[in-house]
Structure 1
Amino acid sequence: MTISRLAEIPGIGVDRMGNAADALGNPEMLRLENLDTDLAPPADAVSATLAAVTRDDANSYLPFLGIHTLRAAAAARVSATAGVEYDPETQCIVSAGGLSGVLNCLLAILEPGDEVIITDPAYAGLINRIRLAGGIPKFVPLRVEKRRWRLDLDALRDAGSERTRAILTMSPSMPSGIVHTAEEWQLIAEVAERRDAWILHDAAMERILFTGAPMIHPASLPGMAERVITVGSVSKEYRMIGWRVGWIVGPRRIMNDIGLVSLTNVVCQVGIGMPGAAAALTSTNDGVGAATREWEARRDLILKELHDIPVVAPDGGWSLLIDTAAIGMPPGEASQRLFDQGAIAATPMAGWGAPERAGRYLRFVFANEPVGRLHDIRERIRRAWSL
């Protein structure tokens, strides 16, 4: 019998698609199902990690909350982004990846039954962690305007209640690629203030922007620094997925509780991963700009090739969504037909929000396939979907 905390956690679907593609072993298969990337991590990070493997101090549980060099680098990164000074010793904790940090924060701030506002669609892993921590996701729809995403402001105003404990934000968000506008951030801040709620901000992709507009961090908004908890990681921007290193930066009043959860949950971080993460954060050549331009080129190619298909253009991040329901095909069927007849692995968005919204979409991840391998994507889709 499934215990209650798992009853509404269906999984994420990516594992099934990835396992199926791996089992088939077809080198022609376009791997658009999983948030991997083929772009190399920063050279400084790789060198520092290789050196750490030979060091005794990197093969240790200590220090439990992360090595000082990484805490200092992460605190400085968030300080520069948010325009708020954070002390690395009292306001920064290293986590075993960004999502581990998100879960630790949720466990530190939620009582069972508390509500967490989150967009729809949103990453199933974030939604599931809200539930795992005893919270209730309160979905706010994303709307499509001129083939781009916008937050439904009226729905956001109505979403807050006396049970609202947090708003979980991500910009660019995954899987949609929405980048919140100043107007959207302002209303998010107003709702948080009115409901005395935290803003738990997943900043994993904050510099992967295709808009040309300046990045907005919620802690930079007036009066928000004491409400915003930032969770970052090296997985996306720095292309360091396998390192499993992240950080949590926030107000002093909550960091002791988050630290207690961290010690109780994962205990410590990946010792041989932290020196490489610190090197990435302090590198003068982290490659984020060049990588972002490459990911944008891949996005643009897909948007061009799929111009007559209901694709919603992402303004940042690694993935985009296709409304297959609008062409009369459930996403699960669309995914299977692509896999069998088009050699494309792509994940349906079941469980990534409400069935009537997120459940309409199929996701393409464009971070892991170079432009040269995407050249015939339109023909593959035409063949699979008989378009």
Structure 2
Amino acid sequence: MPRFVALEPAVEGWQVDPERLAAAVTPKTAAVLMMSPAMPTGSVLGKAHWDALARALERSNAWLIYDAAMERIRFDDGERVHPAHVDGLAERTITVGAASKELRMIGWRVGWVVGPAEILRDINLVGLSNVVCQVGIAQEAVAAALSAPDADDDVAHATAIWKARCDAIVDQLAGYPVIRPDGGWSLLIDTVPLGLSAFEAAERLFERGRIAATPMTGWGPSGDRYVRLVFANEPLERFGDLRARFDEAWS
């Protein structure tokens, strides 16, 4: 059975105590799944989190499965730490990457796994049974995108655009229960202070404000209280009347 560790919303963004995170690891834990920045919250883990997890995973002899699909989409100035570079985690980290987020190649469905050789043999068998064979042209396209001379600059440019969109949304919705993300391309709004469920808020935003928001029901134990706004591909100029449309939705 999975065990969840809840993030706590705060003025400065999502927070989770490193020791509370580590305390969720028990002798029965086989693996811990983490993503940073996380989706849909945009929360980011720091070195203190990885250090605490390293100690806990060593005690339990468990794996860390790290979803790195968004790791370069960061809006904060904090230290960039890959868990495989942390003492005690290199031999336990299974890194899962994808072209869908940073490279914006969502429909190509190409990803990769990096980790210790002994576990990758088993992962290859799982992939063989579930994927069989990825489309060749998609693999070539992703390889070209990853190896392009301007690949890093491209991701940095895209991240700057996403940050500008995020800042615009947060500024426009000042006073609403918006939790600022530290990365990614989505943010959450707490619907409880608005007196609505996530489904009710999403419905009202769509019907009255002409805004598409996703109820987070099914995204974890606290998902029922949040709706998500995705700014992956929304032009910045379309945010000009966002506040007015939100106000109209609650009128």
Same fold (TM over 0.5): yes
TM-score by length of 2: 0.96
Q: Deviations over 1:99-121 (max 9, x none)?
A: xxxxxxxxxxxxxxxxxxxxxxx
Aligned to 1:337: 204
Match of 1:225 among 90, 93, 98: 90
Question: In the alignment, residue 321 of structure 1 is paired with which amino acid?
Answer: L
Say if 2:113 is the partner of 1:248.
Answer: yes
Structure of greater Rg: 1
Matched, 1:325 2:192: yes
Structure 2 match to 1:282: 147
Letter matched to residue 293 of structure 1: A
| Contact 2:14 2:43 survives alignment (8 Å) | yes
Give the alignment of 1:106-255 within 5 angstroms.
Answer: 136-255=1-120
SS of match in other structure, 1:141: coil
How does the TM-score come out when normalised to structure 1?
Answer: 0.63
Deviations along 1:230-274, whole A, 9 cap, x unmatched?
000111111111111110010011111111111111111121101
Unaligned runs of 5+ in 1: 1-135
Aligned to 1:77: none
SS of the equivalent of 2:136 reads coil
- What secondary structure sits across from 2:7 in the alignment? strand
Distance across 1 between alignment mates of 2:122 and 2:229: 38
Q: Does 1:315 align with 2:203?
A: no
Please give the alpha-carbon distance, in whole angstroms, between the structure 2 residues aligned to 1:309 and 1:373. Answer: 19
Q: Deviations over 1:262-314 (max 9, x none)?
A: 11111111211011111111111121111000000000000001110111100
Q: State the SS of the aligned residue for 2:70.
A: coil
**Match in the other structure for 2:166:** 299
Q: 1:200·1:230 contact (CA, 8 Å) conserved in 2?
A: yes
* Contact kept in structure 2, 1:141 and 1:155, CA below 8 Å: no
- Please give the secondary structure, in 1, of the residue aligned with 2:3: strand
The alpha-carbon deviation at position 158 of structure 1 amounts to: 3.0
Shift of 1:154: 4.5
CA spacing shift, 1:157–1:285, aligned 2, 3 Å: closer
- CA RMSD in angstroms comes to 1.2
Secondary structure of the corresponding residue to residue 362 of structure 1: strand
The structure, 1 or 2, with the larger RCO (C-alpha pairs under 8 Å, 6+ apart) is: 1
